Chains A and B, each alone.
Chain A
Amino acid sequence: MRTLWNNYRYLFFRRTTQIGLLFLYFGANAWGWTALMGNLSSSSILGIIPLSDPYAVLQMLAAGAVLAVDLVVGALIITIFYFVVGGRAFCSWVCPINLVTDAAAFLRRKIKVDDFAKKQPATRNLRYWVLALSLIISFAMGVAAFEFISPISMLHRGIIFGMGFGWAAVLIIFNFDLLVLKNGWCGHICPLGGFYSLVGKYSLVRVHHTQENCTLCMKCKVVCPEQQVLYMIGKETMPVLSGECTNCARCIEVCDDDALNFSIRDLIKNNKSGE
């Protein structure tokens, strides 16, 4: 039981956060709760504190919309928050699509899809291209382009306001991740993940690797949805510095040798080493 808790504690916290937030959002529409109203595009805490998706606001800016004060304040709050806790903490601790893609990744490991699909046919930098493209299209078409196709919003809005055909988008992503491309949506395509990767590039909360404790079991690399960020495993004692790390902490909990832990990034030291 103790190992079970040890090996899944962060997963438990993450699912609690994700589902808890969804529940608060759902309650706002269904039962008139005011704790957290709206959805991930823009919300309001107790009707006082505004929160806005900074990527959506960026697209609106590109589209030429006049930005309201509430919107800018909300986007700043969110940006600063993720700047501190790690940009892609959004991806693994809040985003509802994470539930879908984690399930797909789990099933993919179980049925051993990777045994016959060894080659990953796409680059993880694709997301930055999609990010740039979304801003260009927003500018050209005069609407926030990704917001009209985002499966994240479709699923999140769907849970709160009613699904419609939104389940189809979710199914597509599940199948894509399961059969076509490992960590396909979250790790390759999603421009919101790309955006938060950039935000989290200099964030404070980081996973830290202690090489002396490492036994090279590589369990961490098996569970990691962004394996490339763990390049230092068994080689060097250092924090995981890539913004693409989602701070999901799966690597920390599967490590039996205390070689991985959360740490606060030491900014001064990093400046010296040029990181």
Chain B
Amino acid sequence: MTAREESDRRKFILRMARGAGIAALGGFVWSAYVDEVTASQLLLRPPGAIKEEDFLKTCIKCGLCVEACPYDTLLLAKPGDHKPLGTPYFIPRDIPCYMCPDIPCVPVCPTGALDEASVTTDGKLDINIAEMGLAVIDRETCIAFWGIQCDACYRACPILGEAISVEYNKNERTGKHAFLTPVVHADACTGCGLCEKACVTEKPAIFVLPKEVAMGKAGNYYIKGWDKNDEKRLEDATEIKTKTELSKESAVDSLNDEEVLYK
């Protein structure tokens, strides 16, 4: 092997190492950035949006849903919005989703990130089964819980009486008045945000959060035995067997064993 060949090979290896180094550096910075910008949880997607993780994969950021929305509800995340760049979302306090019966934003989606099947009942588009989020009430700042009569959210709700109902309670402070307080029902609420828009307090006391954020999860240990639907979860449940090793020693009768007591 001549010295020249050796130096060429050396050069080649060094160049490859340099390339790999730069690629690793760039790759890590790039990955870290992507990880950071896709971490935002607190945003509301258009109706029919698939699970957030899949949505980020599938949405091509074309804005066709935004253009289809007749109320300018939907926005595309701009640099500086601190949302996953280019993806559609809405801010209900500014412009809520008015729940068009023909849901123009969903069928135009070219990628299926907005899934038509998820807002279809019996072959017909049905906005009432959309799950954009869930309205949550802050009982501390909602003036209805102070005893002031207000049913702005209840009246604004497009699924009147089902997604938000009003509960009567005695006002013990005055002894002669009633509390008329709003209650949100998660099974009917679509998260359109009309209640948030209508709320009379300075900062809304009722606001929409993504369902994932707003709700807990009971898990598999708890089943509503009185609810046929919930009991179905038992159908594909498997028995959990725990094995505990039996103690080889015989039990000690500590209470009646005088020797132990009076030692």
Contact = CB atoms under 8 A, between A and B. Distances in A.
A107 interface: no
A161 B56 contact: no
A57 B108 CA distance: 17
A20 interface: no
Interface in A156-213: 157-158, 160-166, 168-169
A129 B19 contact: yes
B175 interface: no
B64 A44 contact: yes
A161 B63 contact: yes
A192 B119 CA distance: 35
Given A44-B110, A71-B60, A148-B38, A157 B76 contact: yes
Contacts, number: 137
Nearest to B31: A137
Nearest to B72: A29
Interface string B37-58: 1100000000000000110111
A158 B78 contact: yes
A164 B111 contact: no
Contacts of B64: 37-38, 42-44
Interface in A52-102: 52-53, 56-57, 60, 63-68, 70-71, 74
Contact of A153 (B35, B61, B108, B111): B61
B33 A148 contact: yes
Contacts of A164: 78-81
Nearest to A134: B30
A23 B30 CA distance: 32
Interface stretch (A139-147, A231-239, A255-263, A264-272): A139-147
A125 to B, nearest CB: 10
B115 to A, nearest CB: 10
Given A41-B60, A60-B57, A144-B57, A52 B110 contact: yes
B62 interface: yes
Given A29-B66, A161-B76, A140 B31 contact: yes
A149 B78 contact: no
Contact of A65 (B57, B67, B78): B57
A28 interface: yes
Contact of A42 (B60, B75, B78): B60
B67 A28 contact: yes
Nearest to A47: B108
Contacts of B38: 141, 143, 148
Contacts of A165: 78-80
A141 to B, nearest CB: 5
A148 B57 contact: no
A149 B76 contact: no
Contacts of B111: 42, 60, 65, 67-68, 70-71
Nearest to A50: B110
Contacts of A43: 62, 64
How many residues of B sit at the interface, in one of the four size bands? 35 or more
A8 B63 CA distance: 35
Interface in B162-189: none
B60 A145 contact: no
B112 interface: yes
Given A47-B108, A60-B58, A168 B79 contact: yes
Contacts of B110: 38, 42, 44, 50, 52, 68, 70-71, 74
A166 B54 contact: no
Contacts of B53: 142
A164 B83 CA distance: 12
B63 to A, nearest CB: 6
A246 interface: no
A78 B79 CA distance: 27
Specify which of B33, B58, B62, B78 lies most central, judged by the most chain A CB atoms within 10 Å of its CB: B62
B143 interface: no
A142 B84 CA distance: 14
B85 A136 contact: no
B86 interface: yes
A165 B77 CA distance: 11
A32 B67 CA distance: 7
B86 A65 contact: no
Contacts of B67: 28-29, 32, 37-38
Given A50-B110, A66-B58, A162-B78, A136 B66 contact: no
Which 8 pairs of residues, A with B, have the shortest CB-CB distance?
Answer: A164-B78, A165-B80, A42-B62, A165-B79, A38-B62, A65-B57, A68-B112, A164-B80
24 contacts: A28-B67, A41-B60, A41-B62, A42-B60, A42-B62, A44-B110, A50-B110, A60-B57, A65-B54, A66-B54, A68-B111, A130-B26, A133-B26, A137-B27, A143-B38, A145-B30, A147-B60, A148-B34, A149-B30, A153-B61, A158-B78, A161-B63, A164-B80, A165-B78
Interface of B: 19, 23, 26-27, 30-31, 33-35, 37-38, 53-54, 56-58, 60-64, 66-67, 75-76, 78-81, 84-86, 108, 110-112
